Copies of this chain bind each other. A is one copy, B any other.
Amino acid sequence: MLLALAVLSGAARLLGEVAQRFRQPAVLGELLAGVLLGPTVFGAVAPQWQAWLFPAAGNNAVVLDAISSLAIVLFLLVAGLEVDLSVAWRQGPTALKVGLLGTTIPFGFGLAAAWLMPTALGRQADADPQIFALFLATAMAISALPVIAKTLMDLNIYRTDLGMVVVSAAIFNDLIGWTVFALILGMIGRQGATLAVATTVALTLFYAAAMLTAGRSIVNRALPLLQAYTQWPSGALGFIVTLGLLGAAVTEHIGIHAIFGSFLVGVALGESRHLQERTRMMLEDFVSIIFAPVFFASIGLRVNFAAHFQAPLVLAVLALACVGKLIGAYFGARWGGMSTRDRWSVAFAMNVRGAMEIILGLLALEARLISEELFVALIVMAIVTSAAGGPLIRWSMRKRQRLRLSSTTSPRLFKRALAASTRFEVIHELAELAARSADIDRARIEALAWEREKIAATGIGNGVALPHARVAGLASPIVAAGLSHVGVDFDAPDGQPAHVIFLLVTPLENATAQLDLSANIAELFRRPHATEHVLRSANYIEFLAALKMLAPKGCEV
């Protein structure tokens, strides 16, 4: 059991990292890890070993199952925490319109398709056709709020009006989507249930309403008390997790799925202005580092993706999902009075699916509502839309990818202890590093940087200086970095000498590279004690690690 968990979480984290390296959501890599370790690859190559490590039945399977359910419950608790109803409210009519059309139109498409050709779309023979249709409609309609939020943050448009409209619409979408889906699950999983469907629906709506009114205000009052009178952060975190599990238990007893309960607890909590950002981030880290990788990787263990991959079905689901969502969101944005360009950006953003579709599909598979073929198609759809989301939004906004500092540095471009004691000498030393690694003339870089430096000194304060040279014909931007323990005067506004100096050498033709890099670096050194922290680096590896640690959440180096 321990070995299985170790292999699963290790592989998932590793491939999650690789995915993020390629600016893709981590969930992609985590899914892939499961596919590699599951029947699709590992099972095909060495079936006995695979069955030994990940047995399909017995205590191990039960435990892995339980950890997965716990992971989904906690995942939706965190997803709920990201839902800020007051933000959605402030965006008002536009967000509501996008949310409304962006939900109902794909829902309608899904419903129609499921009624017209249920078997082709992978309905299980013994599944109720109405419930199947409702499921497919929901699967087409639901967005993935966390992935959307992450994509927008990567593009640095999360806090813009456009970003807020998309997020608000997605919040609306989530609330509706999960309520409908919880009801669907309530309708199928009721062998031996004592409550009638109507009662379940009534109780569900009652729970949702209670959570969003009374629950919200109780939580809003309890949180500051907890933070004042218990240990920080364990008191508040323990309370949130316990409440999430309780909510999950309540909805499960009502007869709908546990996730809906923890999701609404998250929504009720997320809105409280007393919820400290640090508490929220800690919980998010808990879940995204320990639970989520195991969960998403375990998906790959359940199904043989190669055997159940049906190209026509995958394409049909993909087309159905994208067309419905794009049309809905586009016309919603038009109705809300947005420009054509913004409409497309909104539509592409709303089209991003991810973790949510996967959870949805998994629950439907477990409830024997859909075939494994449809499950595979849904997962492929989720992967494709979330991978394509970022590039498509960027394209529609004609926005370039932000340059990251780490892609322009290298061990050869780093000097641990600068010998220089003046600005000119620093530039001389760093220009030499840059010249060696970019194969251009040192004197040219030096002259350009010095010329720029003479116009206005480039000390930006907090012990950092950013001299720069824009060189014609340079292939790609390079940054030479050096540490000076004694400090060199770069005439910074705060009067402090510079200890960490970056020489930015960017192509003359690329007007934005220098801005990107300066912004990136300035962001890092806004933290208190950042310079001391970086100065402690003994080599390039430690230097890079120190920079990573300084990056605020959502900002990448």
Q: Hey, which bits of chain A sit against chain B, CB under 8 A?
A: 1-3, 5-6, 9-10, 13, 16-17, 20, 59, 62-63, 66-67, 69-70, 73, 224-225, 227-235, 237-239, 241-242, 245-246, 248-249, 252-253, 258, 274, 276, 278, 282, 285-286, 288-290, 293, 528-529, 540-545, 548-549, 551
Q: Collect the chain B residues with CB atoms within 8 Å of residue A5's CB.
A: 70, 245
Q: Is the CB of A288 within 8 A of B252?
A: no
Q: Is the CB of B238 within 8 A of A548?
A: no
Known: A17-B231, A274-B542. 17 other contacts (CB 8 A): A2-B252, A2-B258, A3-B245, A5-B70, A6-B245, A6-B249, A9-B245, A10-B238, A13-B239, A224-B545, A227-B549, A231-B548, A233-B289, A237-B285, A238-B289, A282-B282, A528-B528
Work out how many copies of this chain go into the complex: 2
Residue picked from A225, A246, A288, A289, most chain B C-beta under 10 Å: A289
Q: Is the CB of A17 within 8 A of B235?
A: yes
The listed residue (B245, B540, B542) touching A2 by CB distance below 8 A is: B245
The listed residue (B17, B228, B232, B285) touching A551 by CB distance below 8 A is: B232
Q: Collect the chain B residues with CB atoms within 8 Å of residue A10's CB.
A: 238-239, 242, 245-246
Instruction: Looking at the assembled complex, report how far the CB atom of A322 sits from the nearest CB atom of chain B, in whole angstroms.
Output: 29
A543 CA / B528 CA spacing, docked (Å): 23
Instruction: Looking at the assembled complex, report how far the CB atom of A262 sits from the nearest CB atom of chain B, in whole angstroms.
Output: 9
Instruction: Looking at the assembled complex, report how far the CB atom of A446 sits from the nearest CB atom of chain B, in whole angstroms.
Output: 29
Q: Is the CB of A2 within 8 A of B248?
A: yes
Q: Collect the chain B residues with CB atoms within 8 Å of residue A541's CB.
A: 224-225, 228
Q: Collect the chain B residues with CB atoms within 8 Å of residue A540's CB.
A: 228
Nearest B residue (CB) for A63:
B66
The listed residue (B235, B237, B545) touching A228 by CB distance below 8 A is: B545
A40 CA / B529 CA spacing, docked (Å): 53
Q: Is the CB of B241 within 8 A of A290?
A: yes
Nearest B residue (CB) for A227:
B545
Q: Is the CB of B20 within 8 A of A231?
A: yes
A293 CA / B230 CA spacing, docked (Å): 15
Q: Collect the chain B residues with CB atoms within 8 Å of residue A231's CB.
A: 17, 20, 548
What would be 18 A-B contacts, judged by CB atoms less than 8 Å apart?
A2-B248, A2-B258, A3-B246, A3-B253, A9-B245, A20-B231, A59-B62, A63-B63, A63-B66, A228-B542, A228-B544, A229-B544, A232-B545, A232-B551, A233-B289, A233-B549, A276-B549, A286-B290
A542 CA / B220 CA spacing, docked (Å): 12
Residue picked from A2, A229, A288, A551, most chain B C-beta under 10 Å: A2
Q: Is the CB of A232 within 8 A of B549?
A: yes
A388 CA / B276 CA spacing, docked (Å): 36
